[in-house]
Amino acid sequence: MEIDVKKGFPCKKCGACCRNIGKAFFVKNLALSDGICMFLDQSTNLCMRYENRPIFCNVDAFYDKYMTDKISRDQFYKENIKTCEELRMLTNGR
Ligand code: SF4
Ligand code: SF4
């Protein structure tokens, strides 16, 4: 799959990551008892603190801060997209 990294991470805004936050090591403290992030607006699948979300929720900021000397941005996006697809399977393709 071709990814235009100049456009930033191609998030589909499906909310699957935010619905499975209880499984994420760094941000699991944000999870409600059902594993869904307390900041997810479940009617829109959008983050209610998007501009101030943790860096672990921001693929581009995380890459810029921690990953530039470890992996290409393109490869990092591809790894994240794989995880997104796995998470979508867990949330019935939402
Ligand atoms: S699972 Fe991936 S595509 Fe869906 S909202 Fe999260 S980052 Fe975006
Ligand atoms: S803080 Fe926002 S982006 Fe991060 S898991 Fe919660 S709803 Fe999703």
Which tens digit of pLDDT belongs to each residue from 62-88? 999 999 999 999 999 999 999 999 999
> Is residue 90 predicted with pLDDT exceeding 80?
yes
Closest ligand 1 atom to the C-alpha of 88?
1
Nearest to 26 by CA among 69, 64, 78, 66: 66
In the chain, what are the helix, strand and coil shares in percent, each to the nearest 5?
50, 5, 45
In total, how many domains does the chain have? 1
Q: 10-54, pLDDT tens digit by residue?
A: 999 999 999 999 877 778 889 999 999 999 999 998 999 999 999
Residue 3 lies in a domain: no
Q: From the CA of 43, how far away is ligand 1's center (Å)? A: 16
Closest ligand 1 atom to the C-alpha of 13?
5
Q: Show the domain range for 54.
A: 13-92
Residue 1 lies in a domain: no
